[in-house]
A = this chain, B = another copy of it.
Amino acid sequence: MQAVCLRQVPQGMPQAQDFELRQLPLPLIGDGQLRVQVQWLSLDPFLRAQLGGRYAVPCPPLGSIVPGYGIGTVVEDRSGRFQPGDVVAGMTGWAEFAAMEANAASLIDAALAPVSTAVGVLGVPGLTAWAGVRRILQPKAGQTILVSTAAGAVGSVVGQLCKAAGCRVVGIAGSAQKCAIVTDEFGFDACVSYRDADFVASLRAACPDGIDGYFDNVGGAVLEAALSLLRLHARVVLCGLSDQYNRAERPAGPNLGPVIGARARLEGLVVYDHLGDFAQCRSELAQMIAAGTLRYREHIHDGLASAPAGFIGLLNGDNLGKALVRL
């Protein structure tokens, strides 16, 4: 089978030569395991943190298959829990076939929505958004909520959940094209590009009364700008630091003075704490999709060999929607 392996640990922005397409034997499976033929790979920013040794799970050894979420069809089951033909999601890695522990694989209901959504709007990104909104932001009708990476798999769901709660929702994204998607397709009230020279002034103009909540996936200057807009008792979900994933040194953070003045609450969110709510989350989001009140977008790369370029594009902000590789 083909697999994409880690050739060297990326320094700064990952490059194509950090990865290597190799021919490997099919993985063996033992009792309690499944062999899965991979259909979809999920490309996620946290992989960059993991490759840099800044993640809960360590960087894999050089030469091994690049880790990552995927979706595949069961071709052999030695657990007694799945049938050949079942579609499952889990840590497949970047390969055509994967050996998975049955208890780490989740069955995908293909009737619920297209199976690719299991790593996007109905997967961990959807759960991240849902947990941040329900557990920390707790938006109320009439409030203004600001959302970073608003065109992405997490941010687009955050904003739509807050819209459904009756909020005014403002997005931050990385280009005029993304901002157009955020407002026209995801229904945000406004969107500002952090790459604009007048970003801070534009953000302030889009949030003239400040913000009651902010969902941060970025850190750095974007978080600093958001903190300057905090209203009394605002809540901030600290969920990611994409601003620093590609940097050798961890840059300084924002000055926290405005947090005191606003009596604001900043709270760290790690989605894996909320896996117990996955069924509830998935059911709510699927109902919203069926009702037409939750939209999502996929940016599909074709073929396993396109995974490195797709991942690099994701880190550059080139993707429009949840980044996937279709095998």
Contact = CB atoms under 8 A, between A and B. Distances in A.
Interface of A: 54, 56, 219, 223, 238-241, 244, 250-257, 259-270, 273
10 contacts: A56-B261, A238-B259, A239-B260, A250-B255, A254-B256, A259-B267, A261-B270, A263-B270, A265-B265, A265-B268
Identical chains bound together, number: 2
The residue among A267, A269, A270 with the most chain B CB atoms within 10 A of its own CB is: A267
B256 A251 contact: no
Nearest to A266: B266
A152 to B, nearest CB: 17
B265 A266 contact: yes
Contact of A253 (B254, B261, B267, B268): B254
Contacts of A244: 255, 257
Contact of A257 (B54, B257, B261): B54
Given A260-B270, A265-B265, 11 more contacts: A219-B255, A219-B257, A241-B256, A250-B257, A252-B255, A253-B254, A253-B256, A259-B266, A260-B269, A264-B267, A265-B267
Nearest to A56: B261
A224 to B, nearest CB: 8
Contact of A260 (B251, B257, B268): B268
Given A260-B239, A268-B261, A252 B254 contact: yes
A241 B223 contact: no
The residue among A253, A256, A261, A267 with the most chain B CB atoms within 10 A of its own CB is: A256
Given A238-B260, A260-B241, A255 B266 contact: no
Contacts of A270: 260-261, 263
Contacts of A269: 260, 263
B260 A223 contact: no
A280 B260 CA distance: 24
A39 B13 CA distance: 64
A177 to B, nearest CB: 29
B268 A259 contact: yes
B263 A241 contact: no
What are the 4 tightest A-B residue pairs by CB atom distance, in nearest-first order? A252-B252, A260-B268, A266-B266, A253-B255
Contacts of A54: 257
A54 B56 CA distance: 39
A217 to B, nearest CB: 10
Contact of A263 (B251, B253, B259, B268): B268
A253 B261 CA distance: 15
Contacts of A251: 252, 255
